[in-house]
Every structure is written in structure tokens, then in C-alpha cells.
Structure 1
Amino acid sequence: MPPPEDIGPPPLDAAALRRATDPAVLDGTGDGTAPEAERLALQPRAAAALALGAGTAARGFNIFAIGPAAARIKDSLAARMREAARGRPRPDDWVYMHNFAAPHRPTALRLPAGRAPAFAKALEALVEDLRGGLPAVLEGEDHQRRRGAIEATFHGRAEQAFQALGEKATKDGVAILRTPMGFAVAPARDGKVVPPEDFAGWPEAEREAARQVMSAVEKELEETLRSIPRLEKDRREAVRQLDQEAARIVVDQEVEELLAAFADLPEIVRHIATIRADIVENLHMFLGEDPEAETVPGNAQGAGLRERYGANVLVTQAPDADGAPVVEETNPTLGNLIGRVEHVARQGALVTSFRLIKAGALHRANGGVLLIDARGLLTEPFSWAALKRALSGGRIVIEDMQRFAGMAGTVSLEPDPIPLDLRVVVHGDRSLYYLLAELDPDLDQHFKVLADFDEVMERTPQNEAALARIVAAGLEAEAATPIAPAGLARIVEHAARIAGDAGRLALLPEPLRDVAIEAGERARAAGIAQAGAAEVEAALAARRHRAARVQERLHAATIDGVLRIETTGAREGQVNGLSVLDVGGHAFGRPSRITARVRPGGAGIVDIEREVELGGPLHSKGVLILSGFLSARYAREEPLSLQASLVFEQSYSGVEGDSASCAELCALLSALAEVPLRQDLAITGSVDQQGLVQAIGGVNEKIEGFFDLCAARGLTGTQGVIIPSANARHLMLAPDVVAACRDGRFAIHAVATADEALALLTGLPAGARLDDGAFAEGSVNRRVEVRLRRFAALRRRWARSDEATALRPTKP
């Protein structure tokens, strides 16, 4: 039953249900010429924070950027950081070298930007030149003759010592014999060795004299034998000095050329001097087979020399680089972040060398900017802690994950730390940042700049044009079909719909660009050069259809009567509430039948959803607010004598939120006043203890959910939805709903108080208190108050009856 014209607020004008965008405002924005940083220009709060973080060199002013993923804040961050890094000096190159004093601790050397590759090539050339030049000198005829002379000299000394000792022994009647067991001394006569049996026949005095002579000869023989290793050592030393003397001529010549190329780098000059000294001391490595050739993959000849004297270019700057590097690490594992030491298998064992040290993102971004996704950083073991250690210490220390995990690892290296100077930009969801801020007190120490990206902006013609340019630029970047101004206008309207506010626009380029691309594909298939409003509308409809399986099932169940929702007639204590379901990112409205039953009592309002643990805390709060409203309005001078029950009929899942509290209040007052409520109206909104209706979320989806049901059954012209007046500014309804309202087949009513909603639903005035304190005669409030007073009287009478029964004497 439709209410009288003067009962309740009139329907909203169709022009207030959807705010359109004038395509003329967007003319010329579809040429894809929008600057890359325009997205950031629409984020003044975040832009100011990024300017601070990028502009200051103070430690700790790293940036934590937060915002929705669909806002593509990573692209905005990268663009802003590249702009800040452009023109800055390129950072230094870094190489790792063999540490001759401590091989397990490779030495890190700094070179000016771009010079590390040349240094590494120069060292390789040095090794190759020496591999050819040193053998030629050391194996040359002249050098071998001088070496032979040294060996002959020392060999002659040994022979002379033996010969002199032999002659002396012969003169003293003793012979020196060489046996398999070594040297032996025996008595001799006439130059011949005396057999033992003959020696035994000698007189005792003669034998004793012979023994003393043999003992003396044995001592001299022992001293002579001891002098042989010393002579051999002297020989080797003489040969080594000869080789080094000859090698220095070649080495100095080659090294001087290397020094000339890097004479301006003292640290490099010192290391080259160390290399020169080591080469001279280890000439054997350049002769014959390289004993270290298997220490690296490939087992190439000379590999061991490159391992010892080569350079591992850890990080270098490209010659054409414009400013400092901006590096994005998409997989921030510990090794990818701080670097790692790799191993290779050799003869069943894992071996490594300084040439297997690999740079991490901190090395590549050092001197510039590093962008990291917060979720990836926090989900990788040890990465967050390692990043904090690097920022705290101001240096990059390559750490082995196996040590953290307590695993027995292979023999590894401890590379020199590298000084760290960069700006870290971490980006992620707001929830991650707030959780991290609560759990990690170190966050403020290392990330002093918070860049909070808004997901909405004010809807002005300038902002509409800027958003259209961003979408058009995205299409150009994807080489997609361009979109006409009318199509861009429809996308801007969709941005307002996503924002849930006709006066705001969603700053979410990702979903808007996706819609534009899909519309462009439809235009291309139809042979149209540019996608228009029709193609955009078709793309939006297709996107809704792809995700609407659950919505369609629920809608069909309601049409078939499985889920009971009435859209005509009137019923006492029953009202159509509205809720929003979100399934996989697809939100849609769903009508819900809410019923109330009342009787005298003192239990108050029983929330059945809460009793069965299907109601959330916010829903329970809304029901408790109803109790406060009833007590304040109808039981000001006496207790509220009421026992009521509220329930969402055919609800088999949880109920949360207070957006149905106004509907629940109307159902409760209808049951108390015994006045039926219109079933062709649905209502949404929360209510406070003073009866004021408050704004709720998802108003567009809720209206469209009830409209679709009414349209499927046939619009009668009396159907509609009651919403809070505060939600009127949020309306961006679908074109078919707006058309139905314009034609008078559907209506949207905005109410500010529960009384206005009650008047619309009952067709009766809600009623205000008169001067005598009573509600107006015939009003809904009057009926409610009268009913509650009757409940109170009944309760008092029952109380007296119970008291009389208790005082009545019992029969013996």
C-alpha cells in the first residue's frame, strides 16, 4: 500500500542518483600524452613524503609507501625515484680480489664508476702475457745455462766434500762403503776392505786403534751428510733468486703498463704491488700444468692463475647510465638481497672462490634507490632482519643462510663488507605497515618517512581529466585500442562507483585500465577505431557476469521462492533489509527478510543471531542500541516491560555490521504497534540511540540488489529503497535503475530519522510528542507507547498475582 503523499520524504530526483561526466571535459585526453608522474601529482600527501625521503641524505629517512595494490603505487614510486636519481653522480664500481694474506676473506676494492670491467680485463691480459712471457724467459737457453752453472757449482761442492773425506779415511786405514741402508765405515789395508773374520784375528791393541779411527770417520761422515741438505737448500735459493731476477724484468714491464692505467687509484696501485710480489714468489704457477685449474667451472688452462690474480666485478655502472641506479627487487630472498657465495662440485666436494661471490640488490642499488615489496620482504626468512642490520651498520655483509638455520655448511668465504649508502623504498598494504609498526620497534628508526597513497580523490573536472589521461596513457603503453571521450567519461563514472561516492574518484588505475582494454578489444572485434561508451558498458557488464555465479544462484533461489523475499503487500513485524556480499572481489546486494516478535516480559530484545553465534560484535552492538532507543523514547518513567526477538530469516551464515539496525527497529516497532510494513520497500541504514539514521557502506550494491529482484518480478511503480540521507551523495546507480526511477517505476527515499523511515513503511505518521507529553493520536509512536504500557500493566498484575500466591498460607 503506497503511503499518502504527505507521509515521509519524497523520492530522490533521478538526477541525484547518478552523477554523469561530460565527455567534452575529457576531449583531448585520449591521446596518451599524459606524463608518467601524473598519478603522483594526484597524491599530494604521498608526493610530499617522497620529496622528503628522496631529497635528504640523512640516515634513516628511508621510505615506507603504503596504499592499495590496484593504485599501482610501485609505478609511481619508480617514476619519482628515477626522477630524483637522474643527474646524481653514478656510484662507484666494486670488485672482489684474492686476499693473499687471508684467502678466506676476499678483498673488496672500490673503483670509479664504469672502470671495473677495464680493470678486470687488464688483469686477465696481465695473466695471459705472463703465462707466455715467463716460461719463455725461464726456459730460455741463456737462463738455463746460468741455472746449470749454479747447480753444477753446488753439486761439485758435495762431491769435493765426499772426495776429501774418502781420501782422509783411506789414509787412516778406513774405507767408506755405500750400502742399501746408507753409508758404512770398515777397516781397510792396502786399499782393500778387511773382512770381519780377518779383523777379528788382529791384535787387540790394533783392533782398538782401528775402532777409534772408524768412529772419528763416522762422525766426519755424519757431518758431511748433514751439510748436503743445506747445500741443496742453498742451491734452490740460488736458483729461485736467479729465476726471480730474470722474472722481475718481465713482470715489472707488464705490471708497469697496468699501473700506468690505474695510477690515479692508490688502493688499486697497492693491490697491484701485492700481485707483483706474489707473482715473483710463485713463478712455478706459470710453468707447466696449473695446480689450481680445477677450482672453477670449466677446468681451463690458466684458471688457477685467474682465480688468484683476476678480479670479480661485483657491480659496475653502465657507461650510458643517467645518474644513480634505481633497482627493484621482486624476490627479496636473503641471497638476492645481500648477495651470496656460490659453490661448485669438484671431486665430490663443494668448493668456492672469490670469483663465485654474487652481488645482491643492495650492491646493485648502492648509491641509488632500492624498491622492495613489503610482503615479499617480510615473508622471506631472515631478509627483514638482514636489511635492518645493513641499514644500522651502514655496510653490506654477505651472510650464509645455513649459519642462521644451524646447518652444517661447506667451507665458505667471509668477503670484506662494502660500505652502504642508499635510499630504501618499501611498498605494501596499509595493514602490513600498521602490523609491523606495532610489532617491530625498529621500524621508526630505519623508515622515518611514511608515504600514504590515497585511493580516492575529489571529483572535479580537472581530476576527471587527469584520471582520463592516466587511463589513456596506460592504453598507449599496452598498445591497446584507444578510447573515445565518451568511453573515457563512462570509465570516470565507474571510478566514482568504485570509490563509493559520487563526489570522489577512485585512484586505482589498474582496474580502470583493465576495463578500457576490454572495451578496446570489443571495439577492435567490431571494426571500430575507438571504444565508446557502449563498449565500456558492455565490458563492465561482462566483468560482472564473469564473477556473478553466486549472485545469480541466490537471485534464482529468491525468484523460485526457495529464499522468501516479498516485494508486494504488507506484513506486521517483517521488513526487507539489505546487505552486501563480497565473493572473490565481486560485491553485490542481497535482500534479507528481518522479522520481530514481541510479548510482555523483562528480558528485553533477544538477538537470535547472537544467541546462536552467527552475529558479529558490530551487529550485536546495533541491537543493544535499539534497547537504548526504546527505553529512552517509550519507558522514560517506568521499566521497559518487553521481551522481543529479532532474526534474519533464512540466514545460514554470519551477520556482521550495524547497517540493518534501522530495519530491525522498524520491524520491532511494527510488531509493537501492530501495524504492517510495506514489503515493496527495502531499507538500509544504522540508527543511534536518538533515532537518527546514519550512513552505511555499499549503498549502490544494496539498492541494485533489491531493484534486480523487483525488476525480475515486474516493477509495480510503488517499489523502492529507503537509504540514509547521508548516503545520498554516494549514489552512482546503474543506468537501468536510474531510468526506472526517472520513469516513476522505482523510487529511492533518503531519510534522516527512524520516524521518517517508519512513516514510509507504514503509511502512517510516526508522531511526535505533544505539549501534554503524549504522542499524537493515531501515530505509530502512540500505538507503540500504548502497547508497552499495556505490557507493563500486565507485568505488574502478574507480579502481584505471583506475590499473592507466594503469601497465601498452604494447607497442612
Structure 2
Amino acid sequence: MDQIATGQPLSARHLAGEEDFALGFATTAELDPLSDWPGQDRALEALRLAAGTDHGDFNLYVLGTPGTGRHSATRQVLAEAAARRPPPPDRVYVNRFDDPRRPIAIELPPGRAVELRDALRKVVNDLADDIPAIFESEDYQTRRRAIEDSYSERHEQAMGVLADAARARGVAIVRTPMGFGVAPRKGDEILPPDEYEKLPQAERERIGAAIDAVRAQLEDVLKDVPRGLKAQRAEVEELNIAMAREGVDAALADALGRFADHPSVTRHLQALREDLIDNAELFLIREDGAQAGAFPVATSRHHLKPQFRRYAVNVIVGQDPDQASGAPVIEESLPTLANLIGRIEYASDQGTLVTNFTMIRPGALHRANGGFLILDAMQVLTEPLAWDALKRSLKSGEVAIYSAGERFSLISTETLDPDPMPLKLRVVLVGDRRLYYLLAEFDPDFGRLFKLEADFDDRMERSADSALLLARLIGTMARDDGLRPVAADGVARLLAESLRLADDGERFGLNLAALGDILREADHIARASGADAIGRDDVEAAIAAADRRAGRLRERSQEAISRGLLLIDTDGARVGQVNALSVLEIGKTRFGRPGRVSARVRMGAGKLVDIEREAELGGPIHSKGVMILSGYLAGSYAPDLPFSLWASLVFEQSYGGVEGDSASAAELFALLSALADLPIDQSLAVTGSVNQFGEVQAIGGVNEKVEGFFDTCAARGLTGRQGVLIPVSNVPHLVLRPRVRDAMDAGRFRVIPIATVDEGIALLTGRPTGVRGGNGAFPPDSVNGRVEARLIGYAEARQRFGQKPSPSETDG
């Protein structure tokens, strides 16, 4: 860029634009695809370190402006690293048979969780068919009858011996509705009571004694019956266990063999074996609830029945052994507490909430275990308890499942306390810079858990190499989205728009999302016109259409000026009045608008009144800028006299807040005009901040400000005198719209850089500023000379006012 001459209008060669790019291709179809992100070397280095290191707590926060490719770069770098890592182990929950409230967590090699689940399903399905068959087999029935017959014969033998003894004593054992009894007998018949009463006394006493003795023996025999039945049941139970054991061992043999090298699985299979044997009757329950026999209808899906859920395997993380490759990369878009650490579901059973270990559901931490988890930082922080749960899991190295209700003791429903699962993964938070710095400042755990930061830049230095990289990126974006290739002039226009997005003619903006939106709309326009490639006119039409869609507020602002509702002069000259420029930003809409700044002065005690601040409409930075003006005036004029000025400054017709110091140059010019009593050319507008030494400093939004005043002037008719004074340090930032550039080339609008207040006031008033001569005074008719003369007059008048006698002294 040529050397900038201050105080002179800029020409097109001073401005950054699409004509600056000499691209050596016809369309992007000729360019090699770009797999990396230009200008993001620092961020990519941090991403690859986080993806490659195995050290704990090297979690990563990806910060930057939305649209710079943070998410896509994070996904790609992590996916590449994950592909080089071994797949993580599978994890399951199984029943703890002695305490079902505390399910057991088991870790398995990749792909074997599903194998274990299917193996135990087969065990249950086989036993549901085999056990009923075992208990209906001829062998079982024979052995059970033998046990029952043995105890029956033993009881009958004891009763037979007792009956013979009773017969020898002349009494009989009889069965009555109330049980067994003993009665006298005569021969083979029971002696009737009336005949028994006719017997001699001695005979009756003998028979009574015999009855008592036999009754005592009968009681002893009958007391042995329950003990015999108990022993019989014990033997039958032992038989049942033995038979069940044979079936269970046969069914489990395959599973025990396949998982013999996994102690945790073997322990569970042994506990499962004992429970299967102890609860073999579960396999004899008919679907109608009756216990007996085999199932009436053959089925191969017995494991789905409620009574067999206790033997299930709840696969929390499982992989297909044929497809398991690499570590997982999980992106959780809704990181609630349950979605992060998992949850326990409940079912309603007769009005009661019930649960079991098969109703445990995994969270993102489970699914990403052994790999990478990508989370949106703002989402995590705004979900109740999610941030706390994430930190707790990372610090403890395990995932414990709990609910918000349990955490705050809000529910009393019986729940589960599953074993926590070991956790080893890399968490990547994606968020903005402000959130990162807030966490670093106020959360002591953040710096320890997230040791790395990937700071995505939002701009890249402009050069021939970087322009080619960005062109390749544009071509890659078009190819990936299925769009037409972009012609060289279309790429040049996009590169110029990238400079515009950066607000810097020497830096490319890296808002890839914004460029992608323009590219897709341009492709739509090119398709409608039947073009084979996206050209410059298509890109320009897309940019203009986007500006038009977002331009309602800008048009209303210009309309208010055109109708005279907002008072802005673009010709003539006024004392103490200057056109200042501001930028309004609402949502995605950002535009410049001129505003009138006015100043009034009189003798005073050195007070500069900022009406915006007094009305509580001015922000702290604006107030600081106004205070700087007092320092400039006091240090530049009549330094040997008291500062005896009272002045007021205001943004006319400003009904909202005013912030920033970019209007401080305009405010100072209005003050100098009022003090010198020299009119300011209203065809010029001013932007820029000043320091106490009168240097004009760079400001933001220079393109929007210039265009805002240009649109106001264009609506009234360009005269060639109209223009904007800007800080010379802002010239590299100029990336103006073609309508402004064309007017500048035609000499119908001016953009004039200035470096000092003296340059600016000379241009605005048409008078020389003046410098102090050998006598230390400014030329009397110069701007500075008139200002100093006014301030000296105020100081002398103030001194005379202070020396006037009081009314009491005059009367005396």
C-alpha cells in the first residue's frame, strides 16, 4: 500500500478490495482440497496434544468466535486420533443376588459384552426347557417315589407293630374324624360302651391301663410322623437340587468355558449358578401362575419373562466384535445430568414405582469412556447439576449414577446403588472466550481439570500464500456441500468479504460459517442463472441480498434523516456543531448512522459538562473520552491562567445509551468551533478518539461509519465536498462497499485520514490551525489563536468578577 498522506482524500489504491488478488486458476475445481484449517496452527496444536496425550486432567477447552470452525476442527482432529487408539472395553451391569439394590459393574474386552448377554440368554432359554423335562423324567419320578415310599413304609411298619401290641392287650387302634383313638375290643370287634360298663371292675381297670399304655405309644408314633415328613422333604429337596445342579451345570458349561479367563465374569457365573439351583422352581411356573410340569407351549424366548430378568446382562457399553475399531468420539448436544452420567428408570406396578438393574441406562460419559467427549460449555453450565457431576466424575475417575431427586433428598422411592464404573476419557468443552475466562477466574477446579486451551483465531494475516489457502478452503467447502466450483473472480470477491468480516484490510476474517452462507446463497443464484461456476456477480448478489434482508432498521434510520426527523446537515457550516458517526449493532444487523454533536461554552470554573453522563445515558468509556478533552484544552491553551471554561456537550436526539470514545474527536472539534466562534463544514463527518496530546486514535466499525454517512449524503445528492474524516491508523481497516469506492473514484465522496486534532479542525473550519511563534503566542486569526484568546478572556473576566466589591462594601 502506498504511503498515506494525511489531510488528503484517499483514492481507491489505498483501499483493500477484490482487485488486489491475483489468483492463478480459473475455478476452484483446479485446486487441491484443503484438509486443515488455515490460520489456526495454535489451536490445532493444542487439539492434537489433547488428543494424543494419555496424561490425566489434560482435558481441553476450545475457545473462539462462533463460525471459526471450532466444532468441525475438533471433530476431525479427535476422529483422526480416535482411529489410532484401541477400542475401549465393554461394560455391563449384572445382578448382585445377595443384594439386588447394588448391581455389579463388570468390564469385558471389546465385543464380549454382547457375547455374555447372549450366552446367558441361551442358558435361561435352555433351562426353561430342560428343567421341566428333568423333573418330569422317569428317573426323577422313580427316585422321588422311592424316597416317599421309604418313609411311608417306615410309618406303616411302626403303626403295624403298635397295632399288634394293642391287640395283645385287648384294645384296638381306630381312626376317627378327630384322628386316631384307642378302644377296648372283644375278639375282632370293638366292645360297645354298654357292654364295657357290665364288665367287672378289675377287668375295666385292666383294659383302661392297656388303653393308656397304647395311647402313649400311639402318641410317640404320631410325633415321629412330622419328623419323618421333614426328613422326607429334605431328601426330596436334595434330590431336586441334585437334579437341578445337573441341568444348570450342563447349561452353564459353555459360558464358563468361554469366559474362564475373566475372573469377574466367572465369579458372577458361579453366583448365578447357585441362584439358578436355589430357584429352580422359577422354571416350573406356568404362564397362568400354576406350578407344575413343563411349559404347555414351546418357546425359545423365555429370557424375556419377568421371573428371569434377574439373570439378564444389562449391556451399558457394547461393541460389535466385527466392527469394533478405534476409540469413541461422542458429542452430547443436550448434556443434562441424566444424559451425562446415566439414569435409573422406573416402571409403575400397581401404583408403586419399581426398578431393577436392567433399567439402568448409560450416559455420555459411559459411551465416551476410553475415547473423547465433546460438550458445549454453555449447555453444560446451564443444565442443573451437570457441571458439578462432570467435575466430580473427572476428579474421582469413575461414573456414579444418581438423580437430582436423590442429590437433594426429594424422593423416597427405593432405588438402586449401582457400582460406579471406572472412567478414563478426554473431555473437550467448546465455548466462547468470555466463558473460558470466567471459569478460569471463579472456578478453582477448572484450571486443574482443563489444563489445555485451543484458542481459535478469528483472523489471519493477509498474504499471497494465505489468500491461496483460503481459496482452497472455499473450494473444499463448495465440494463438500455439493456446490458448483467458484470462479476466480468469485473467490476474489469472497476474499474481499473475508477482509470485511475481519474489519481489517490486512487480515482475513476466519468466520467460515458466514463465508459458507454466502457461498451457498451464491450457488443458488448461479443455479437459477444456469451458470456452471459461481462468479463474482453471484457472490455480490448474495452479499447484497443478505444486506437487504437485514436492512430494515438501517433503512428506517436513513428514512428518519431524509424526512427531517433526525436533524443532520450535509451542507453549509455551523458553529459548535459537527457530524459524528456511531455504529448500531442489533442481533446480526450492524450499520453506521450519523448523529449531531453540539457544544455550548461560557465563562466558568473549568467544568466540562457531559450531558449524556449527567442524564445517565453515557457509558464509562464515553465519559472517559469527554474527560480527556478537559486535559487537552487545559494543557494546550493559556497554560499560565486558570482554566475558566464552562462547556456542555451532547449527542443531539440521542434517546438511548451512548458508549465508546470514537466520538471524542467530534466532541473536541465542536468545542474548538464554539470557542473559536468558527463554523464547521457540515458536509464532513468525523470519527476517531483523541488523547490528551491531540493525537487522533483508531476506532472500530470504520467501514460501517463511512458507509452510514455516505448513504445519508447519497440520498440528498452527492456534491463532491462531502466526506468523512477518519484516523490515519484506520486506513488499513477500510474495506468499503463498491458503491462507496465508485463514488470515491469519481470524486463525488471523500475519505480523508487525519493524524492530529490540528489537521482535523483546519479541514473542518477552512482556517489554519496555527502554531506558537517565537513569542509563545498563536497567530491571532488562526483557530488556536482564537481559542486561546477566548479562554484568556474567560480567565480575565473571572478574575475581574472575583475582584468586584460586595454590595455591603459599596454601601460602606
TM beyond 0.5:
yes
Counterparts of 1:288-687 in structure 2 under 5 Å?
A: 288-289=285-286, 301-302=302-303, 303-304=305-306, 306-318=308-320, 319-602=322-605, 604-687=607-690
Offset, 1:51: 2.5
1:708-729 per-residue CA deviation (whole Å, 9 max, x = no partner) reads 1111111100110001111111
Q: Does 1:128 align with 2:125?
A: yes
Which sections of structure 2, spanning at least 5 residues, go unmatched? 291-298
In 2, the alpha carbon distance for the partners of 1:734 and 1:489 equals: 14
1:289–1:797 distance in 2 versus 1, CA, 3 Å: same
Q: Does 1:250 align with 2:216?
A: no
Offset, 1:496: 0.8
Aligned residue in 1 for 2:262:
265
Counterparts of 1:765-776 in structure 2 under 5 Å?
A: 765-776=768-779
Offset, 1:468: 2.5
Contact 1:290–1:304, Cα closer than 8 Å, also in 2 = no
Segment drifting more, 565-574 vs 382-391: 382-391
Segment drifting more, 775-784 vs 462-471: 462-471
Aligned residue in 1 for 2:64:
67
In 2, the alpha carbon distance for the partners of 1:777 and 1:634 equals: 13
Aligned residue in 1 for 2:293:
none
Aligned partner of 2:797 among 786, 794, 799:
794
Q: Does 1:240 align with 2:243?
A: no
Aligned partner of 1:150 among 144, 147, 152:
147
Segment drifting more, 627-636 vs 309-318: 309-318
Segment drifting more, 206-215 vs 660-669: 206-215
SS at match of 1:71: coil
Aligned residue in 2 for 1:13:
11
Contact 1:455–1:507, Cα closer than 8 Å, also in 2 = yes
Offset, 1:209: 8.8
Under a length normalisation based on structure 2, what TM-score does the superposition of the two structures give?
A: 0.92
SS at match of 1:350: strand
Aligned residue in 2 for 1:4:
none
SS at match of 2:667: helix
Offset, 1:159: 3.8
1:267-300 per-residue CA deviation (whole Å, 9 max, x = no partner) reads 323322332232222221222327999xxxx997
Identity fraction in percent: 47
Aligned residue in 1 for 2:138:
141
In 2, the alpha carbon distance for the partners of 1:291 and 1:439 equals: 63
SS at match of 2:522: helix
Amino acid at match of 2:680: L
Offset, 1:568: 0.3
1:94-144 per-residue CA deviation (whole Å, 9 max, x = no partner) reads 122121222111122221111222221122122212222222222112221
Counterparts of 1:1-80 in structure 2 under 5 Å?
A: 9-20=7-18, 24-25=22-23, 27=25, 30-31=28-29, 37-39=35-37, 41-80=38-77
Segment drifting more, 396-405 vs 26-35: 26-35
Offset, 1:535: 0.9
Segment drifting more, 197-206 vs 659-668: 197-206
Q: Does 1:749 align with 2:752?
A: yes
1:567-624 per-residue CA deviation (whole Å, 9 max, x = no partner) reads 0011000000000001221110000000000011115111111111111111111111
1:229-262 per-residue CA deviation (whole Å, 9 max, x = no partner) reads 3323322221222233333333333322223333
SS at match of 1:450: strand
In 2, the alpha carbon distance for the partners of 1:165 and 1:542 equals: 115
Amino acid at match of 1:513: G
Offset, 1:88: 1.2
Offset, 1:186: 6.3
Contact 1:37–1:76, Cα closer than 8 Å, also in 2 = no
Contact 1:502–1:731, Cα closer than 8 Å, also in 2 = yes
Aligned partner of 1:110 among 100, 107, 112:
107
Amino acid at match of 1:762: T
Under a length normalisation based on structure 1, what TM-score does the superposition of the two structures give?
A: 0.92
Segment drifting more, 169-178 vs 51-60: 169-178
SS at match of 2:315: strand
Contact 2:184–2:211, Cα closer than 8 Å, also in 1 = no
Offset, 1:265: 2.6
In 2, the alpha carbon distance for the partners of 1:625 and 1:395 equals: 58
In 2, the alpha carbon distance for the partners of 1:678 and 1:195 equals: 149
SS at match of 1:69: coil
Which sections of structure 1, spanning at least 5 residues, go unmatched? 1-6
Contact 1:21–1:492, Cα closer than 8 Å, also in 2 = no
Amino acid at match of 1:316: G
Segment drifting more, 568-577 vs 754-763: 754-763
Counterparts of 1:212-227 in structure 2 under 5 Å?
A: 224-227=221-224
Amino acid at match of 2:809: L
In 1, the alpha carbon distance for the partners of 2:718 and 2:540 equals: 23
Aligned residue in 1 for 2:295:
none
1:225–1:484 distance in 2 versus 1, CA, 3 Å: farther
1:419-477 per-residue CA deviation (whole Å, 9 max, x = no partner) reads 11111111111111122222211101111111111111111222222222223322222
Aligned residue in 1 for 2:719:
716
Amino acid at match of 1:20: E
Contact 1:37–1:80, Cα closer than 8 Å, also in 2 = no
Offset, 1:647: 0.6
In 2, the alpha carbon distance for the partners of 1:445 and 1:171 equals: 99
